[in-house]
C-alpha cells in the first residue's frame, strides 16, 4: 500500500496530547478551519443520492437472485458476496437519512424504506433519533450514548461476541417484527419493552428509547407495520413451503453478511477509549477514525462516506459525497502539527489489531 503526504505526516498519539485538548478544551483553530473551508459543501446532490442508492440496491437484489437461482456452489457464493457488498452500500444510506434535512432529497426516505429498510427489516426509525444522540456533545462516549461502548477498555471476549451478535441480527429482526411487534399490541408492558429495548440499532445495552411522538410516531408506525407484515409473510411462506428453505437461508445469509460487515466497520469507526466522561468536540474527533485514500478496500467496508467517520463527527452536516473534498481541503489548509491528522489511519487490520491488543492488555492487568 502506498502512502500519500497525509499519511506521511507526523502522527501524534492521542495519549500524548495535552489533557486540555484531549478531554476538555477544543482545538479552536481546527474547528474554525473546518467550518470556513467547507461552507460550500453542505448541500446534498439529489442526483448522486438517487443514482448511488438505486444502483446499489438493483445490483444487490440482482446478485441475491443469482445466489438463489444458480447451481454451482462457487458461483452462488460469488453472487452472495456481491449481494452483501451492494446491499450493504445501499443500506448504509440509513446513516445519511439521519443527517440530511427532511425534504432536501424529496421522497428519498420513503423510497429507501420501501426497497431496503422494510425488506431487510432495518427501517429508518431504528436509527433516526438514535444516531443523532451519538452526535450530541454532552452524550458522546457516555453511558447515555446509544452507539458507544468502551471496547478498548473491555475484555478480549467482548470483540468476538460483538461480531457474533451482528451476524445473528437478521434472526433477531424476524422475531422482533414477526412475533414481538404484533404481540406488543396486546400488552402495554411488552410494548414498553419492545419500544425501549428492541427498537434501535444501538450497541449500548443500557440505552432505553423513549416513546416516539408526533410525526416521528406516525413514521415509526407505518414502517413497523410494513416490517411486521413482511416478517410474518416470510415466516408463513417458509413454513408452508412457498419459499424453499434453501432460498430463505440464502436470504438470511446475505442479510447476516450485511450486518456482520457493518459491525466490523463499527468496530473500527472509533478508538473506543473513553471511559464514560463527557468529551470536547476535538476529543470526540480524536476518538474517531478516518481511513482516506490511497487505501481502496475502505470503499467496500466503509462505503457512503463512512471511511471519513472522524471528519463526519467534525462536520456532520456535510453529505457523504462531499467528505472526500472536505478532507482534501483540510489537509491542505492545516499545518502538519494540527491534531486533524491524528485521526488518519492506514487500514482495517491495523485498527483491529490495536483494539485487540488493548483488550489483551486489560486481561493481563485484571489477572
C-alpha cell, 2: 502506498
Question: What are the tens digits of pLDDT across the range 130-151?
Answer: 998 999 888 999 999 999 999 9
pLDDT score at 363: 66
Residue 25 has pLDDT above 90, yes or no: no
Our CA angle for 182, 185, 188, nearest 5°, is 135
From the number of C-beta atoms within 10 Å of its C-beta (0-12, 13-18, 19+), residue 237 rates as middle
Q: Are 30 and 303 in contact (CB under 8 A)?
A: no
Q: Are 53 and 93 in contact (CB under 8 A)?
A: yes
Task: Please determine, for residue 13, whether its predicted confidence score (pLDDT) is greater than 60.
Answer: no
HSE-up of 319 (CA within 13 Å, CB side)?
Answer: 17
What is the CA angle 166-274-346, rounded to 5? 70
* C-alpha count within 13 angstroms, C-beta hemisphere, residue 325: 11
C-alpha cell at 193: 419493552
Give the mean model confidence (pLDDT) for residues 342-365: 87
- The residue assigned the cell 452507539 is 147
- Split at pLDDT 50, 70, 90, the class of 2 is very low
The whole-number pLDDT of residue 24 equals 54
Residue 9 CB coordination number (10 Å): 19
CA distance 343 to 348: 14
Q: 3-state class of 344 per DSSP?
A: strand
Lowest mean pLDDT among 9-23, 123-137, 210-224, 269-283: 9-23
Q: Would you state the pLDDT for residue 18? A: 36
Asked if the model's pLDDT at residue 10 lies above 80, the reply is: no
Q: Find out whether 351 and 309 touch, Cβ atoms under 8 Å.
A: no
- Residue 221: how many CB atoms within 10 A of its CB? 12
Q: What are phi and psi of 165, to 5 degrees?
A: -60, -40
Dihedrals phi, psi of 270, to nearest 5 degrees? -135, 170
DSSP assigned state of 41: G
Residue linked to cell 452483501: 84
Interval 178-204 mean pLDDT: 96
The C-alpha atoms of residue 151 and residue 167 are separated, in whole angstroms, by: 18
The tens digit of pLDDT for each residue in 257-285 reads 999 999 999 999 999 999 888 898 999 99
What are 30-45's pLDDT values in tens digits? 999 999 999 999 999 9
More confident residue, 122 or 295: 122
Q: Bridge-partner residues for 152, per DSSP?
A: none
Give the whole-angstrom CA distance, residue 321 versus residue 48.
8
pLDDT at 323 > cutoff 90: yes
Position 136 scores a pLDDT of 87
How far is the C-alpha of 281 from the C-alpha of 270, rounded, in Å? 14
pLDDT tens string 78-120: 999 999 999 999 999 999 999 998 889 999 999 999 999 999 9
Q: How far is the C-alpha of 61 from the C-alpha of 67, rounded, in Å?
A: 10
What's residue 337's pLDDT? 84
- The average confidence (pLDDT) of the chain is 90
**Contact in structure between 228 and 198 (CB atoms under 8 Å):** no
Nearest of 340, 260, 274 to residue 308 by alpha carbon: 340
**Is residue 270 classed as helix, strand or coil in its secondary structure?**
strand
Count, residues in the chain? 367
153 Cα distance to chain centroid: 21
Amino acid at each position: 500500500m502506498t502512502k500519500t503526504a497525509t499519511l506521511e505526516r507526523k502522527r501524534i498519539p492521542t495519549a500524548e496530547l495535552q489533557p486540555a485538548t484531549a478531554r476538555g478544551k477544543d482545538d479552536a483553530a481546527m474547528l474554525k478551519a473546518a467550518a470556513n473551508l467547507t461552507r460550500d459543501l453542505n448541500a446534498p446532490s439529489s442526483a448522486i443520492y438517487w443514482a448511488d442508492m438505486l444502483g446499489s440496491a438493483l445490483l444487490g437484489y440482482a446478485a441475491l437472485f443469482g445466489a438463489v437461482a444458480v447451481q454451482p456452489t462457487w458461483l452462488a457464493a460469488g453472487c452472495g458476496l456481491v449481494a452483501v457488498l451492494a446491499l450493504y452500500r445501499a443500506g448504509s444510506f440509513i446513516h445519511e437519512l439521519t443527517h440530511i434535512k427532511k425534504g432536501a432529497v424529496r421522497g428519498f426516505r420513503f423510497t429507501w424504506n420501501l426497497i431496503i429498510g422494510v425488506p431487510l427489516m432495518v427501517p429508518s426509525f431504528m436509527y433516526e433519533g438514535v444516531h443523532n444522540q451519538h452526535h450530541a456533545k454532552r452524550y458522546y462516549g457516555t453511558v447515555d450514548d446509544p452507539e458507544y461502548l468502551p471496547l478498548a477498555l473491555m475484555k478480549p471476549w467482548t470483540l468476538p461476541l460483538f461480531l457474533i451478535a451482528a451476524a445473528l441480527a437478521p434472526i433477531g429482526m424476524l422475531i422482533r417484527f414477526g412475533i414481538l411487534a404484533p404481540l406488543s399490541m396486546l400488552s402495554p408492558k411488552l410494548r414498553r419493552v419492545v419500544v425501549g429495548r428492541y427498537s434501535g440499532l444501538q450497541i449500548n445495552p443500557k440505552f432505553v428509547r423513549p416513546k416516539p411522538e408526533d410525526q416521528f410516531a406516525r413514521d415509526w408506525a407505518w414502517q413497523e407495520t410494513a416490517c411486521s407484515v413482511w416478517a410474518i409473510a416470510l415466516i408463513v411462506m417458509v413454513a408452508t413451503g412457498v419459499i424453499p428453505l434453501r432460498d430463505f437461508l440464502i436470504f438470511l445469509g446475505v442479510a447476516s453478511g450485511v450486518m456482520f460487515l457493518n459491525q466490523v466497520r463499527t468496530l473500527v469507526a472509533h478508538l473506543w477509549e473513553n471511559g464514560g466522561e463527557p468529551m470536547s468536540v476535538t476529543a470526540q474527533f480524536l476518538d474517531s477514525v478516518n481511513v482516506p485514500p490511497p487505501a481502496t478496500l475502505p470503499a467496500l467496508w466503509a462505503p457512503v462516506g463512512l471511511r471519513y467517520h472522524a471528519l463526519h463527527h467534525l462536520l456532520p452536516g456535510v453529505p457523504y459525497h462531499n467528505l472526500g473534498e472536505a478532507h482534501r481541503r483540510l489537509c491542505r489548509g492545516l499545518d502538519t502539527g494540527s491534531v486533524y491528522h491524528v485521526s488518519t489511519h492506514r487500514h482495517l487490520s491495523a485498527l483491529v489489531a490495536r483494539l485487540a491488543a488493548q483488550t489483551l492488555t486489560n486481561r493481563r492487568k485484571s489477572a
